Structure 1
Amino acid sequence: MKKSRALVLAGLTLLFVAAGFATVALPREAHGQSLGSFGIRPTTTTVDAPSGGAYFTYDLVPGGTLSDEALVMNDGTGPISLKLYAADGVTAINGGTAFAAAEEERNGVRAWLSVDTMDIVLQPGESLAVPFIIQVPADATAGDHVAGLIVEAPPKAGPTGGLGAAVVERVGVAVVIHVPGPGEESLTLGVICLNQKTGSNYFEVPVTSGGSLLTRASGTLQLERPYGVEVFSREVLLATVLPGDSTLLRMDAPFDPGPGDYLANLTLEQSDGV
C-alpha cells in the first residue's frame, strides 16, 4: 500500500490495492439526553437558543460565575439510583460531542463545573432540578470550552455468555462555554488510509483541531483509477470537532469498486468557509 499526502487541509491522496471492498454503516456518536429509563437536560428548552435548548450554552468572561439547573429524569418503571458528576468534553468519531470518563482529564473544563448533589434517587416518573455552578478561571483563553453533566447508573452484569464485564449506563448533557475574544477554526487532516482491521473496509483519516472554536466541515471523497477515471464521488460530513481535540473521520464506499489501483482524494471545507 503506497501513500502520498497532497494537501494539509483541502485534500489527501492514497494509492492502494482494494480487495473485497464492502460498504460499512458507521454509527454516529454524540452527547445524549436520555437512555430510555433516565436522562438529563436543561430545565427549560428555548427554541431561539443556539442549541435549541438541547444543551447548555453560555457566554462568560474570564473569572465569570453563573448558576443554573439541570433536570434529571426517571422515565422507567422502577426506582433508580444515579451518580451525577462533571466530565470533560471530547470529540466522537466522525465528530460530535462525547464525554470522558469520570476521573479522566482531557481539556480540564470539567473543573469549571461544580455540583452539590452527587447521589440521586428517583422514583418512577420523578424528576429533580439539580443546581450547578460554573466558575470560569481568570486565565481562561478566548474560544469555546466544552464539558458535560453526566448521570450514571450503578454497574450491572453484562450479557449471559459474555466475558463477565460489568455494563455501566450513563448519559450526559453538554455545557458549552464561550469566552469572548479572537478565535478561529483550524482543522488539519492526517494521512488517509483504508481500514480493513474490523472485517469491513472504509476510508479513515485523523482530524485535529488547532483552533479555539467548535468546527464542522463538509466536502467530497472521490475515488479514481489512475489517470483520472472517476469510480465514485460521495458527500462527506464531519460533525463538531472540539477545540484542541482530535478524532477520526470514517467514510464508507457506496459500492464495491473491485480489486485494483485507486487514488482517493478527500476535500473538506470548514464551517467558516475555509
Structure 2
Amino acid sequence: MASYLAFPTRVVRALALVLAVLIGAGLLATLAVSPARADDTDGISGAPADASGPDQRSRFSYQATPGQHIDDLYVASNTGTTAQTMVVFATDAYNTDDGGYGLLDTDAVPVDAGSWVSFAGGVKQLSIPLEPGASQVIPFSLDVPADAAPGDHAAGVVISVQSTSGEILVDRRVATRMYVRVPGELQPALTISNISANYAAQINPFAGDTTVTYTVTNSGNVALGASVVVGVKALFGVSAAETEREEMSEILPGNERTFTTVVDGVGQWGYLNPYVQLAPSVDVEALNPGPLASVSRDTTIFVTPWWLIVLLLLVGGTFLFRRWRAKRDEKSAKAWMAYQEAEMARRVAEGGTATGAEQPVGPGDPALAEPVSGRNDR
C-alpha cells in the first residue's frame, strides 16, 4: 500500500518541477524582451540650419519687402529609437489663452505668413521618413506677396508625426518660430481695456487685497512684450501699497490677452485708484521697430473704511457721553440749588429766620453781654 502511494507522489513532484522550470523560462524571456520595449522612444526635433546642419539661430527672423523671395534651410531630426515618417510644413501663429505661441492645427489652412512658405517643387508640405538618429536638411522658400501689409507676420515651421492609440489619433509636433517683418508704416502699440478692480477686506484693516483685471490688446502691427506695473493709489495720489511688477510675454499683432493681478497690503482708505502701466518691448532677437510708447490705464473703487467708521463712532460716542454727563451733572446741580433755595425759603417762612443765617449785631444786643458762668459770684 505504501509503495502504491509513493509512485503517484513522485510523479506529481516531477510534473510540478517541470512546470516551474517552464514558468521560470517564460518569465526570463519576458524580462529579457521588456527592457527593449521600454527603451523605445519617438523623439523628434527641428531647428534653423545651414548646409551642414543646425546653426546658432533659435528662430527665423526676416525683414522682407513685398514681392521678395528668400531661401533658407531647416533640419529635421529623429531623436528616437524607432523609424518615423515626419510631415514638415509651415502654418500661421497666434497667441494662446495663457500667452503662449500657438500654431494652427495640422489640417488647418494658413492665410498669412504660413502660406508664404513652400518646399522643393513648390509643395506646401513634405513627408520625410527618417531612421533612428538620422537628420535631414530641408530647403524651403519664403515668397512675400506684393500686397503684404507692413508690420510683423508670425508663423512657424512644424514637424508633425501622427500615430494611432486605439481609436485616438495622436499628433506629436515640434515647431520653430518664424517672424517676417514687412517694412512700411510700423505701428507698435499696446492698449489696455476692460480694467476692473475689487477689494477683499481682511481682519487687519490695512492688509486688504485689491484684485485688478484688465485686457491688453496688440492694436498695432509689431509683436510686443511689456514690463507691467500694477498698483493702487489713495487720495491725492498717495501710494496705498507696494506695486506688483511682472513681465508680459509677447503678444502678436491683432491678438489680446486678459490678466489678473492681486495687489496685497491695501488699507481701507475709502477712495482707491487701481492702475496698470505697460512699458512695451521687443524680443532680443526681433528687429528693432523704433521708439516704443508706454501706456497706462486706471479705474476707481470705493472701499468702506470700517476702521474709520468704528473710530468715529468711538470718538463720537465718547463726546456724546461726556456731553450728556455734563448736562446731567448741570441739571443735578441746578436741581440741588433749587432744592436748597426752596428749603431755605421754607425755613424762613416757618421760623422767621433761616437757620444758620447771620443777624445784625448792635450795641444793646444781648450777644455783647458777658457770658454767664456756671457758678454764683460772691
TM-score range with shorter-chain normalisation?
Answer: 0.5 to 0.7
- 1:129 matched to 2:137: yes
Q: Following TM superposition, by how much is the alpha carbon of 1:59 offset from its aligned partner in structure 2, in angstroms?
A: 1.7
Give yes or no for contact 2:42–2:82 (8 Å, CA) kept in 1.
Answer: no
| Whole-angstrom CA distance in 2 between matches of 1:93 and 1:251 | 13
Runs of 4+ in structure 1 deviating by more than 6 angstroms, as ranges, are 224-229, 254-258
Find the residue that maps to 1:192 and give its secondary structure: strand
Instruction: Measure the CA separation in 2 of the matches of 1:257 and 1:103.
Output: 50
Aligned counterpart in structure 2 of residue 205 of structure 1, from 193, 196, 214: 214
CA distance in 1, matches of 2:250, 2:110: 17
- Alignment partner, residue 70 of structure 1: 74
Asked if structure 1 preserves the Cα contact closer than 8 Å seen for 2:242 and 2:265, the reply is no
Q: Using the alignment, how far apart are the partners of 1:188 and 1:172 within structure 2?
A: 29
1:216 to 225, 246, 254: 225
Any gaps of 5 or more consecutive residues in structure 1? Answer: 1-34, 48-52, 159-163, 195-201
Aligned to 1:99: 103
| 1:81 maps onto 2:85 in alignment | yes
Amino acid at match of 1:179: V
Report the counterpart of residue 151 of structure 2 in structure 1: 143
Q: CA deviation at 1:41?
A: 1.0
Partners of 1:206 and 1:105 in 2: how far apart? 28
Matched, 1:173 2:176: yes
Q: Distance in 2 between matches of 1:178 and 1:42?
A: 18
Distance 1:123 1:141 in 2: 42
Shift in alpha-carbon separation, 1:75–1:256, aligned structure 2, 3 A: farther
Q: CA deviation at 1:265?
A: 2.4
Change (3 A) 1:267 1:100: same
Please tell me the residue identity of whatever aligns with 2:60.
F
1: distance between equivalents of 2:181 and 2:85? 33
Q: Is the 8 A contact 1:94 1:250 kept in 2?
A: no
- Residues 230 and 263, structure 2, Cα contact 8 Å, conserved in 1: no
Q: Where does residue 108 of structure 1 map in the other structure? A: 112
Cα deviation for residue 206 of structure 1 reads: 2.6
1:1-37 CA distance string (max 9 Å, x none): xxxxxxxxxxxxxxxxxxxxxxxxxxxxxxxxxx981
Larger radius of gyration: 2
Residue 131 (structure 1) shift: 1.4
What is the one-letter code of the residue matched to 1:70?
Answer: Y
Instruction: Give the drift of 1:182.
Output: 2.2
1:59 aligns with 2:67: no
Find the counterpart in structure 1 of residue 325 from structure 2: none
Structure number having the greater strand percentage: 1
Cα shift at 1:153: 1.6
CA distance in 2, matches of 1:157, 1:102: 18
Q: Measure, in 1, the Cα distance between the counterparts of 2:157 and 2:95.
A: 16
Relative to the length of structure 2, the TM-score reads 0.51
Q: Secondary structure at the match of 2:114?
A: helix
Query: Is residue 248 of structure 1 aligned with residue 232 of structure 2?
Result: no
Identity of aligned residues (%): 24
* Distance in 1 between residues matched to 2:213 and 2:230, nearest whole Å: 11
CA distance in 2, matches of 1:217, 1:36: 37
After superposition, the C-alpha distances for 1:144-176 in whole angstroms (9 at most, x for unaligned) are 211111111214439xxxxx7544221111121
Q: 1:37: which partner in 2?
A: 43
Q: Is the 8 A contact 2:164 2:170 kept in 1?
A: yes
Q: Cα distance 1:267–1:65, how it changes in 2: closer, same or farther (>3 A)?
A: same
Which has the bigger relative contact order, CA under 8 A and spacing at least 6? 1
Secondary structure of 1:270 counterpart: strand
Provide the rounded CA distance (Å) in 1 between the counterparts of 2:165 and 2:263.
39
Rounded to whole Å, the distance in 2 between the matches of 1:221 and 1:36 is: 44
Distance 1:181 1:248, change over 3 A: same
* TM superposition shift of 1:103: 4.1
Structure 2: gaps spanning 5 or more residues? 1-40, 198-210, 282-290, 294-378
Q: Quick check: 1:144–1:179 contact (8 Å CA) kept in 2? A: yes
User: Take 2:104 and 2:214, find their aligned partners in 1: how far apart are those partners?
Assistant: 22
* Counterpart AA for 2:215: P
- Contact kept, 8 Å, 1:41 with 1:71, in 2: the verdict is yes
CA, structure 1 residues 257+151, in 2 after alignment: closer, same or farther (shift >3 Å)? Answer: farther
| RMSD value, Cα | 3.5
Equivalenced residues, count: 224
The one-letter amino acid paired with 1:218 is S
**Change in CA separation of 1:234 and 1:36 when aligned onto 2, cut-off 3 Å:** farther
